[in-house]
Structure 1
Amino acid sequence: MTSTINLLGLSGSLRQQSAHTAILNTVAERLAGPVRLTLHGLEHIPPYNEDHDGVHAPLAVVGLRAAVAQADGILIGSPEYNHGMSGVLKNALDWLSRPHGKSVVSGRPVLCFTASPAFTGGVRAHQQLNETLWAIQATMVVYPQIVIGGVAGKIEHGRLVDTAACTFLMDGVGALIEQASSGRAV
């Protein structure tokens, strides 16, 4: 009997018509069998303040940490703002990096993608995201960088419809699933 592989999706965009949320929803719909992707919103995560951490951590942060702890793997999508990842995503990762040395992300398989209206697809944000995840000791899935350029023309009705981008992304998600399932306790 196969148990469910639980993936957590984090979108670094808060926009109602977010391309990153649309892409995560597309992935969730394409998963089959014992794999599911659940999106966790970041809109209620307050700015990081160490004075409010530990036993005083806000409920939204406690919920985010619990969702990460229960996930077998994480799929993160980030826009590129001013050559970097979104502030909302960086802030969430700062909360998730604590307490120092005991981050719920540490050792957990993570796959990232960026998307942008520009042809570069958010490569600079992707690099910054990788550096942050490396610093908090996430286990990065070995897969070529997933960047989706010209994303506005690749989203229709709230879903990623570009065949090449979708195939490449889903192959990466396959690598995430493989790593997440191999790291589980039997």
Structure 2
Amino acid sequence: MHIIALSGALRRASYNTALLRAAIAMAPEGVTIELRTLHGIPLYDGDVEAEGIPAAVTTLREEIRAADALLISTPEYNHSIPGVLKNGLDWLSRPSGEGSKLFGGKPTGVIGASPGGFGTVRSQGALLPVLHAFGSDLWMAGELLVSRAGSVFDADGKLVDDKVREQLQRFVHGFVDFVRKRQS
């Protein structure tokens, strides 16, 4: 099984990228999780699209298309999805109709980490209608909302909180089971 793990953050020391790195380390045997970011994807502009889809978008699209599943880790900015993540999803959905071709039926899980006290409950909630519009096969049985992320990761981005590690492991294994059921 091959899963693309997409970080919704660009920051080098992103808690969400660190969360995905920890998830990669917890992948069950026979499962490969590959980290991807939105680096290199420009702001969406219809004039740019008319000249051709940027290479960074095409590359990410083909990696997602080839994967068995998608795991998105979203930060929360101002109670919603970060602009960079929404912009990346907007590009991936272009030209019109590409979103449902790419994401339609694709098993998708959503997690997130935030320095705030509520984790990413609002950004995850705001992301669901976008993924629903694409026809993603959302795994709704699992939830991971990491709050107070500054105390969950060390200065090198290593997950140091045992409770969160246990929750993440349960999430990863549950998501893999969900994907396996969809494959059979």
Instruction: Tell me the TM-score normalised to structure 2 length.
Output: 0.90
State the shift of 1:54 in Å: 7.4
1:12 aligns to what? 8
Residue equivalent to 1:29: 25
Amino acid aligned to 2:175? L
Count of paired positions: 181
Write 1 or 2 for the structure with the bigger share of strand: 1
Structure 1 distance, partners of 2:51, 2:106, is 23
Over 3 Å counting, the alpha-carbon distance change for 1:14 and 1:143 in structure 2 is: same
CA deviation after TM superposition for structure 1 residue 144, in Å: 3.9
Give the alignment of 1:92-107 within 5 angstroms.
Answer: 92-103=88-99, 104-107=102-105
TM-score of the two chains, using structure 1 as the length reference: 0.89
- 1:63–1:54 CA distance, 2 compared to 1 (3 A): farther
Q: Distance in 2 between matches of 1:130 and 1:176?
A: 16
Alignment RMSD, CA only? 1.8
Query: Is the contact made by 1:96 and 1:105 (CA closer than 8 Å) also made in structure 2?
Result: no
* Structure 2: 5+ residue stretches without partners: none
Helix, strand or coil at the partner of 1:112:
strand
Structure 1 equivalent of residue 86 of structure 2: 90
More helix by share: 2
Q: For the Cα contact (< 8 Å) 1:6–1:71, is it kept in 2?
A: yes
Task: Tell me the SS of whatever aligns to 1:179.
Answer: helix
Alignment map for 1:107-122 (pairs within 5 Å): 107-122=105-120
Q: Is the 8 A contact 1:141 1:175 kept in 2?
A: no
Matched letter for residue 159 of structure 1: K
Is 2:66 aligned against 1:70?
yes
What percent of counterpart residues are identical?
Answer: 33
Q: Say which SS state the counterpart of residue 57 (structure 1) adopts.
A: coil
